[in-house]
């Protein structure tokens, strides 16, 4: 156990929540697992009761996250094992939380954020809507319910009624009509993807999947070689998405729903300590747009894609979001450079070639 720990544990000791990192093995399993996937730590002295395991191992790959006045049980998408469960298992995340602060001690805006969060989760679970349609609907809910301490009409007493009225008006037909009126500017879409995609591909952390290193370097080179042909490249990425990726999403239906559900539940959408709720929507739309095109790039390079590669791409993208401190600011700047940092114009990233 000591030798495995010396090889696999990197001490950080930055705070109580981040004392160190346990590196996974080449096949993405805990380094303390033996060939039968049994924990060697727990087998010391033939102990087989789970109580001998550290708390983290008992919960692995689950984590507890603090959101407002709650502790929510969730999964860390930056973990390869957790990312696979999030995307592929329809029951990987449960709405499980524990309140640990009295209601009198938190902001009156908290109940509004909770109500919006709950309504957006409901939208994410609507089976008749595509990912694009769900994001469009979430945007409407966010735009029309901006939490503001000075807005006396938006309080805990009427927010649920207001949200229900709005949600009932957002029928499938209304949503599709709204998207149909949204301009489809592939040049702007490419501009956004080229700026953010080149950063992601240049900084992609592939230590757990070294075989994918060439994929990210090829994307980086292709982005810089495309130059004035961005519209054609976006059209090609849309085509391979529709012809190859969509059928896979039908074969594994939890992928899209689980990912959006996770982002809303785990991230506590639309609340963010550094940006407004509307800016949180901009970020959510952009993340989905970038991941869509990264997956399409894999298909374009290799003509096919397996679910394991979708997991790897989503996992590596989110590790970039977590490890690169300027990810949020640079994403916002890319949207501003393209003129899409606007509550109506941001929807242009949701329009794709059918």
Residue 318 predicted with pLDDT over 80? yes
Is 33 in a helix, a strand, or coil? Answer: strand
Taking the alpha carbons at both ends of the chain, their separation in whole angstroms is: 54
> In this model, does residue 99 exceed pLDDT 70?
no
**Is residue 182 predicted with pLDDT exceeding 90?**
yes
Closest CA to 140 of 107, 177, 114, 108: 177
What is the biggest distance separating any 2 CA atoms in the chain, rounded to whole angstroms?
68
| Confidence at residue 120, expressed as pLDDT on a 0 to 100 scale | 93
With a CB cutoff of 8 Å and minimum separation 6, the contacts of 195 are: 330, 334, 337
Q: Confirm if 261 and 123 have CB atoms less than 8 A apart.
A: no
Q: Comparing 349 with 51, which gets the higher pLDDT?
A: 349
Long-range Cβ contact pairs of 55-63 (< 8 A, separation 24 or more): 57/30, 60/30, 61/85
Neighbours of 54 (CB within 10 A): 11
Distance of CA 72 to the CA centre of its chain: 16
pLDDT reading at 157 higher than 90: no
Cα distance between residue 179 and residue 348, in whole Å: 9
Per-residue b or e along 99-124, where b marks 16 or more CB atoms closer than 10 Å to that residue's CB: eeeeeeeeeebbbbbbbbbebbbebb
Residues 33 and 40 sit within 8 Å (Cβ to Cβ): yes
- Kindly state the DSSP code that residue 19 receives in the 8-state scheme: E
How far, in Å, are 23, 45, 176, 310 from residue 56 at the CA level?
A: 14, 21, 45, 27
Amino acid 45: pLDDT = 43
How large is the average pLDDT for residues 77-89?
82
């Amino acid at each position: 156990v000591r030798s495995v720990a010396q090889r696999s544990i990197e001490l950080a000791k930055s705070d109580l929540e981040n004392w160190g990192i346990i590196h996974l093995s080449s096949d993405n399993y805990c380094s303390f697992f033996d060939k039968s996937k049994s924990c060697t730590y727990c087998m010391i002295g033939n102990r087989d009761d789970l109580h001998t395991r550290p708390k983290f191992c008992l919960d692995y790959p689950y984590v507890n996250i603090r959101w407002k006045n709650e502790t929510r049980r969730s999964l860390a998408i930056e973990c390869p094992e957790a990312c696979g469960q999030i995307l592929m298992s329809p029951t990987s995340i449960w709405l499980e939380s524990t309140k640990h602060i009295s209601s009198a001690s938190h902001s009156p805006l908290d109940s509004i954020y909770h109500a919006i969060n709950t309504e957006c989760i409901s939208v994410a679970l609507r089976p008749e809507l595509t990912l694009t349609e769900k994001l469009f609907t979430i945007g409407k809910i966010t735009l029309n319910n901006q939490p503001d301490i000075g807005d006396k009409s938006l309080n805990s007493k009427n927010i649920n009624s207001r949200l229900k009225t709005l949600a009932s008006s957002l029928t499938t037909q209304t949503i599709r009509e709204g998207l149909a009126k949204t301009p489809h500017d592939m040049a702007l879409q490419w501009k956004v993807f080229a700026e953010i995609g080149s950063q992601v591909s240049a900084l992609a952390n592939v230590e757990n999947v070294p075989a994918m290193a060439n994929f990210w370097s090829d994307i980086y080179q292709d982005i810089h070689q495309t130059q004035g042909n961005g519209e054609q490249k976006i059209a090609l990425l849309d085509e391979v998405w529709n012809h190859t990726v969509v059928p896979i999403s039908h074969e594994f239906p939890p992928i899209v729903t689980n990912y959006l559900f996770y982002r809303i539940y785990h991230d506590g959408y639309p609340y963010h300590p550094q940006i407004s709720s509307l800016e949180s929507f901009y970020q959510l739309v952009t993340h989905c747009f970038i991941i869509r095109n990264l997956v399409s790039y894999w298909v374009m390079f290799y003509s096919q894609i397996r679910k394991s590669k979708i997991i790897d791409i989503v996992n590596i993208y989110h590790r970039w979001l977590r490890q690169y401190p300027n990810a949020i600011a640079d994403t916002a700047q890319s949207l501003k450079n393209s003129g899409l940092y606007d509550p109506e114009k941001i929807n242009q990233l949701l329009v794709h070639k059918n």
